[in-house]
């Protein structure tokens, strides 16, 4: 599903290059929930952002469904990216838009057929249990509800992959369990492949089928695990 081949990425600050990812190779299988764990600064977030070209690699290949992303430009890159949804630690909702309009934006950006937009937004909000909150603004929601809106937005264009960057790190334990349950439902019911970055072993253990351990910009090991469920 996702294939990262010998990818490197450095950041440049005041003429000093800092190697965030060094020669990483990783395969994420279709249908799995793949965890990426490691200490702060290990390169987890950079690796995740390379998977949808939010970061462009200095070297190496990023393939989604055997399509090499770094070779795509313009329209074909936008189309390929629509197969990949993403959620973040701090939700990244648009503060002056309603819940409804936050989800609508992703349909607008994807040129989703106008006549079908309203039904699709409503369907996505129902899926995350927020259909009665459509007219609220993000500031009126709890953290868990905000993450649900972000999930609805990420699912709107029916992605094949959902990238999750510390999706529960801003949430309390009960809300964390609820969001992990939503992610598991998305994986099982919709068949969406999920990659989840976390520094919390409990989160990874509760939901992932495989986990890659990162250290200093490299993958130290990738192991199969048996998800335990998400009791708190």
Structure tokens at 124: 């996505």
Work out how close the CB of 166 gets to ligand ADP at its nearest, in angstroms, rounded to a whole number: 8
Q: Strands 84-87 and 161-165: what pairing? A: parallel
Q: Strands 161-165 and 193-198: what pairing? A: parallel
Torsion of CA 63, 65, 69, 75, to 10 degrees: 180
Applying CB under 6 A, the residues found at the interface with ligand ADP are 11, 13, 18, 20, 38, 40-46, 100-101, 118, 134-135
Long-range contacts of 185-189 (CB under 8 A, 24+ apart): 186/151, 186/155, 186/162, 187/31, 187/33
Three-state secondary-structure class, residue 25: strand
Work out how close the CB of 214 gets to ligand ADP at its nearest, in angstroms, rounded to a whole number: 6
Nearer to ligand ADP, 83 or 89 (CB): 89
Work out how close the CB of 150 gets to ligand ADP at its nearest, in angstroms, rounded to a whole number: 17
Nearer to ligand ADP, 88 or 91 (CB): 88
Nearer to ligand ADP, 39 or 190 (CB): 39
Q: Report DSSP state, residue 1.
A: -
Work out how close the CB of 36 gets to ligand ADP at its nearest, in angstroms, rounded to a whole number: 8
Nearer to ligand ADP, 11 or 220 (CB): 11
Nearer to ligand ADP, 31 or 199 (CB): 199
Half-sphere exposure of 146 (CA within 13 A, CB side): 20
Spacing of C-alpha 40 from chain mean position: 18
Nearer to ligand ADP, 210 or 216 (CB): 216
Work out how close the CB of 76 gets to ligand ADP at its nearest, in angstroms, rounded to a whole number: 26
Work out how close the CB of 50 gets to ligand ADP at its nearest, in angstroms, rounded to a whole number: 9
Spacing of C-alpha 2 from chain mean position: 13
């Amino acid at each position: 599903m996702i294939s990262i081949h010998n990818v490197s990425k450095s950041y440049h600050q005041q003429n000093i290059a800092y190697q965030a990812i060094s020669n990483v190779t990783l395969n994420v299988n279709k249908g799995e929930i793949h965890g990426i764990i490691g200490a702060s600064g290990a390169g987890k977030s950079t690796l995740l952002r390379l998977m949808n070209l939010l970061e462009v690699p200095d070297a190496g290949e990023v393939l989604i469904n055997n399509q090499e992303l770094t070779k795509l430009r313009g329209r074909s890159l936008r189309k390929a990216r629509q197969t990949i949804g993403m959620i973040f630690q701090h939700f990244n909702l648009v503060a002056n838009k309603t819940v409804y309009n936050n989800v609508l934006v992703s349909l607008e950006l994807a040129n989703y057929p106008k006549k079908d937009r309203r039904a699709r937004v409503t369907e996505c909000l129902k899926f995350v249990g927020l259909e009665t909150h459509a007219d609220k603004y993000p500031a009126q929601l709890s953290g868990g509800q905000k993450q649900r809106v972000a999930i609805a937005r990420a699912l709107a264009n029916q992605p094949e992959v959902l990238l999750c960057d510390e999706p529960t790190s801003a949430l309390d334990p009960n809300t964390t369990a609820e969001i992990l349950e939503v992610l598991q439902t998305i994986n099982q019911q919709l068949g969406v492949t999920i990659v989840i970055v976390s520094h919390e072993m409990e989160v990874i253990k509760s939901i992932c089928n495989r986990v890659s351990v990162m250290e200093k910009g490299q993958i130290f090991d990738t192991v199969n695990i048996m998800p335990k469920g998400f009791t708190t």
